[in-house]
């Protein structure tokens, strides 16, 4: 007999950060007060939606994510199954030598290279940066590993506190499994600070192996 499960996974992008308009990537900057409030507002929407479920809580290791994740883990433990888990696979893309530079400086000093990267991020990599193809594989591998861990337990709901690039990569995997993301998903899709994405994962156990498919929820 085939067993089925449904997992519900919320993705929260971090809020606005200190430091002005720059290419953050792995640059470890703190949230601004406005960014912290954006995340509290996002959390209120999620807590209203979960209907008493207890969540597995994972965060990127960068402090613009971990600070808020630790707040809710410490202050609202009744919502969570276990302590906060720091997940390196949820970290943002590493932009190498461009990481942390203000956009004005990037455009002035590397304008042509920057434009080429935005137009073709799959095949052009910033100097000493992380290739987008490798980034996507890192994120997708972590995503599938999370599914399997949840399916081996009785945990059905999770919250991932992460970054815009990671969320876009996961959206691509849900929409077009096992394919590289389209460049436009990184450049033409607005994903504001404090955004939330909800993904339902439908799993069927066939011959002892779980097969999963996902569905995006734009509003909830």
38, pLDDT greater than 80: yes
Q: What pLDDT does residue 1 have? A: 64
The tens digit of pLDDT for each residue in 9-37 reads: 999 999 999 999 999 999 999 999 999 99
How many other CB atoms sit within 10 Å of the CB of residue 205? 14
154, pLDDT greater than 70: yes
Q: How far apart are the C-alpha atoms of 215 and 202, rounded to whole Å?
A: 8
The tens digit of pLDDT for each residue in 108-129 reads: 999 999 999 999 999 999 999 9
DSSP letters spanning 78-111: GGBSSS-EE-GGGSPP--GGGTT-BHHHHHHHHH
CA-to-CA dists, residue 192 to 38, 46, 52, 101, 168, angstroms: 10, 16, 27, 20, 12
Q: How far apart are the C-alpha atoms of 114 and 121, rounded to whole Å?
A: 10
Q: What pLDDT does residue 218 have? A: 84
Residue 56 burial class via C-beta count within 10 angstroms: exposed 0-12, middle 13-18, buried 19 and up: buried
Q: What pLDDT does residue 188 have? A: 85
Q: What is the mean pLDDT of residues 139-146?
A: 98
pLDDT band at 88 (very low <50, low <70, confident <90, very high): very high
Nearest by Cα to 14 from 72, 63, 65: 65
pLDDT band at 189 (very low <50, low <70, confident <90, very high): confident
């Amino acid at each position: 007999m085939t067993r089925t499960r449904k997992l519900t996974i919320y993705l929260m992008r971090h809020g606005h950060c200190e430091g002005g308009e720059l290419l953050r990537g792995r640059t470890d900057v703190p949230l601004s007060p406005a960014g912290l409030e954006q995340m509290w507002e996002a959390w209120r929407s999620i807590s209203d939606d979960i209907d008493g479920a207890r969540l597995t809580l994972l965060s990127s290791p960068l402090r613009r994510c971990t600070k808020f994740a630790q707040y809710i883990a410490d202050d609202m433990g009744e919502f969570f199954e276990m302590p906060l888990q720091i997940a390196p696979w949820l970290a943002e893309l590493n932009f190498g030598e461009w990481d942390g530079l203000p956009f004005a400086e990037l455009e002035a000093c590397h304008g042509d290279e920057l434009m080429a990267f935005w137009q073709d991020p799959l095949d052009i990599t910033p100097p000493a940066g992380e290739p987008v193809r490798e980034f996507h594989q890192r994120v997708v591998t972590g995503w599938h590993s999370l599914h399997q861990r949840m399916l081996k337990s009785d945990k059905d709901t999770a919250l991932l506190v992460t970054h815009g690039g990671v969320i876009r990569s996961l959206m691509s995997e849900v929409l077009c499994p096992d394919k590289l993301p389209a460049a436009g998903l990184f450049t033409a899709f607005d994903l504001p600070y404090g955004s939330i994405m909800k993904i339902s994962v439908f799993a069927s156990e066939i011959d002892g192996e779980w097969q999963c498919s996902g569905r995006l929820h734009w509003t909830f």
